[in-house]
Amino acid sequence: MQSSSYFIDDNGGLWESNSYRLRSELNGLASGELFSEYVLKNLGFVRLSQQPKSVAVRFRPETVSRLAFVRLLHWLTDEKPDRVLLSTYTDGSWQHAMIGKNARAFDAVMSHRTRFREQIVPEDAASYDIQWHPDALAGLSSAAGPLRIAKEL
């Protein structure tokens, strides 16, 4: 397997990092690393740089969107990399952690979800999708899978 690089956008969409269409939809914002830094720090994106048995994950906890975060959890669950380099932008600089087991990587990513716990359920929550209807989610297994985690965000 070759190396590949992706962005998870603020709506949970997966894009190749060199996607002209993505840049076009964002009105041609910068290119290369300038583009990557901008969308990670300001637009709530996640970047995945995948190698045969490892992945580098980059995001800014303060701005990462809920949908991008949940998509990242699904991706980690599906791909099960042997090693994860987790880079988070906090306090004005990138902080890095190398994690050897996928379960530990999942836990490390989850430790950055605190921002979501502070959000209040909207007053018009009835108009939102299934995530705001606990009865519809009651049948999910008690396992700590991505859907259960997403429900708890």
pLDDT tens per residue, range 48-62: 999 988 999 999 999
Asked if pLDDT for residue 8 goes beyond 50, the answer is yes
Any domain includes 151 = no
Question: Would you state the pLDDT for residue 88?
Answer: 94
User: Is residue 153 a part of any domain in this protein?
Assistant: no
Structural domain boundaries, residue 59: 4-122
pLDDT score, position 133: 45
- Residue 30 in any domain: the answer is yes
Longest CA–CA separation in the chain, Å: 47
Whether residue 109 is contained in a domain is answered as yes
Contacts of 51 (CB under 8 A, 6+ apart): 3
Mean pLDDT within 91-98: 93
Structural domain contains residue 100: yes
Q: Give the per-residue pLDDT at 125.
A: 45
Residue 130 has pLDDT above 80, yes or no: no
Q: How many domains does the chain have?
A: 1
Task: Judge whether 137 lies within some domain.
Answer: no
CB count in 10 Å sphere of residue 112: 18
Query: Is-contact 112 61, C-beta < 8 A?
Result: yes
pTM beyond 0.85, yes or no: no
Neighbouring residues of 119: CB distance < 8 A, sequence distance ≥ 6: none
Between 81 and 27, residue with greater pLDDT: 81
| Residue 138 domain flag | no
pLDDT at 19 over 60: yes
**Domain assignment present for 92:** yes
User: Does residue 2 register a pLDDT over 80?
Assistant: no
